Amino acid sequence: MMRRVAVPAEKLPSCGGRALFEFEDKSLALFNIDGRLHAIDDGCPHQGASLCGGQLQGRVIQCRAHGLRFNLETGYLLNSTAIKVGCYQVERGAIKYLSYSPDQQLINRLSSALALALVFAFASSAR
């Protein structure tokens, strides 16, 4: 089910800024890049580090914990279409998101965690 949640004006980051926005059980990182808002889940799909404090390079956020980089336009890990962080449309100060059942949320998290475990296992075996 598609839902919308309005972001209070004081929570919207100014141009070049970022902010955390929490509602229901979600914690989102909001980025204002050149006047355009991007919203992603604040937890890195690898081990849950906050992405809000990551290093921003254009529209790419790099997790401070282990360096994974995510495209803020799509949520995907760079060079991947299998691993992504939750990414949300922001329109006129409101975030649009799909509301999943708790079972589907668990399945989504487990599939991302499994894909990341395989990526890290493959990377360490290639060294």
Query: What's the closest the beta carbon of residue 43 comes to ligand FES, in angstroms?
Result: 8
By CB under 6 A, which span of 15-23, 31-39, 59-67, 93-101 interacts with ligand FES? 59-67
How far from each other are the two terminal CA atoms of the chain, in whole angstroms?
Answer: 44
Site string for ligand FES, 12-31 (x = CB under 6 A): --------------------
Find all residues with CB under 8 Å of 124, minimum gap 6, and list them: none
Name the residue nearer to ligand FES (CB basis): 28 or 68.
Answer: 68
- 49 contacts ligand FES (rule: CB under 6 A): yes
The residue among 3 and 66 lying less far from ligand FES, judged by its C-beta, is 66
Q: Using the rule CB under 6 A, which residue among 21, 46, 70, 75 binds ligand FES?
A: 46
Residues 86-125, interacting with ligand FES (CB under 6 A): none
Tell me the one-letter amino acid at 74. Answer: T
Q: Please name the residues in contact with 43: beta carbons below 8 A apart, sequence gap of 6 or more.
A: 27, 49, 50, 51, 85
What is the contact surface with ligand FES in residues (CB under 6 A)? 44, 46-47, 49, 63, 65-68
